[in-house]
Amino acid sequence: MFNRSIIFDTNAYRDLTKDKDFSTCKDDILKIRLKEEEKQINVYISPVVLMELFAHLSDISDPHYQNCKHAVAAAYLHSTLKDSEDYKILADPESLLVKLMFNQELPEHKEDCQYLGTLAYNIYKNPDEGFINTFRDNFKPIREHVRQSELNFITTIYFSVIQQNNPNANDWDGIKKEKQLRKKFLKRINSDSFLLEGAKSQVLKACLSAGIDPKTINDWEDRAKTILDILPAPLYLYREIMRRIAISGLDLSKVKKKRGNWIWDIQILHNCAKNSTFNNQEALLITSDSEMIDAANEAGLNDKILRLEDYLALLNS
């Protein structure tokens, strides 16, 4: 495994830094970087990863505060250029979609990504709580954005999936408990047409992000097929969520399970794409999440994703 561009997901950085102090986290990342440099591996950071981590930093009483703080610093250090403080950050998923669909840039999104990178740099350079307190309020709108996005994700699925298929439902068992409805629903979501419809929704999302009137698009089918060909993994993970809702009555709203954060897994999987390269190097997503790996494998992208422990073993081989 040489000459690759690597993206770590949120869980990978949290696993690498869990129960470690700042100095140990830094040393561990530097050791990994040395191995990566030997194998001509470049590392890029996803803005979605930073956003997920920052959501825990507005309140030091957050049970995941220390882990996420150290993960942020590790992510920044991991993605820096050799002998430089400059870092390599990817475009957000909306920008990737717009670029793929319309070959357009979203300047404001690029600025937002750089802003997240700057916050990560500040934490790495000075992890002292007194210093972080000077910009603590910057994390509050990020936390609110993450919270609201997860809530919207859960609410949208409930009303567009459960209620739409069973108007009489009053809980997440609305499809599961109706045998014929469940059978029909599963048949539909297991079809290729379901994935294509999901891809069409991504075309619509790209239109809205780019400020393009969807009515002017006359090749929806072709554009959707492009997304399904290049970015299938997020659609496969979404389909797996639908399966679980139908089969087990999975309740996404349960706070302890934090199912709303599936929205971020879906977004990070945009970096697991067919023929994707960064700096002319084939891209590889590193994760500790089995569901993301399963979705990528089902989508035929098993060569674009790798479990963290397997990646570290290859580095040391």
The pLDDT tens digits for 238-289 are 999 999 999 999 999 886 667 889 999 999 999 999 988 888 899 999 998 9
Cβ neighbors of 178 (< 8 A, separation 6 or more) are 166
Q: What percent of the chain has pLDDT over 70?
A: 99
| pLDDT (average), residues 284-303 | 95
What pLDDT shows up at residue 171? Answer: 92
| pLDDT (average), residues 69-83 | 95
The pLDDT tens digits for 116-136 are 999 999 999 999 999 999 999
Structural domains counted in the chain:
1
| pLDDT (average), residues 29-36 | 96
What pLDDT shows up at residue 258? Answer: 76
Residue 276 to residue 231: CA distance in whole angstroms: 10
| Amino acid residing at 136 | R
Q: Are the C-beta atoms of 305 and 293 separated by less than 8 Å?
A: yes
Closest CA to 71 of 133, 124, 117, 27: 124
The DSSP bridge pattern shows strands 4-8 and 42-44 to be parallel
What pLDDT shows up at residue 201? Answer: 95
Tokens 């929704």, located at residue? 201
Cβ neighbors of 148 (< 8 A, separation 6 or more) are none
Higher-pLDDT residue of 50 and 82 is: 50
| pLDDT (average), residues 9-35 | 96
238: tokens are: 């979404």
What pLDDT shows up at residue 257? Answer: 67
What pLDDT shows up at residue 255? Answer: 65
239 C-beta neighbours (distance < 10 Å), count: 19
What are the backbone angles phi and psi of residue 128, rounded to the nearest 5°?
A: -65, 135
What pLDDT shows up at residue 300? Answer: 96
| pLDDT (average), residues 283-298 | 95
What pLDDT shows up at residue 1? Answer: 60
pLDDT over 90 at 45, yes or no: yes
Q: What percent of the chain has pLDDT over 90?
A: 91
The pLDDT tens digits for 103-119 are 999 999 999 999 999 99
What's the chain's average pLDDT? 94
The DSSP bridge pattern shows strands 305-307 and 281-287 to be parallel
What pLDDT shows up at residue 277? Answer: 84
Structural domain boundaries enclosing 218:
4-315
pLDDT over 70 at 46, yes or no: yes
pLDDT over 80 at 173, yes or no: yes
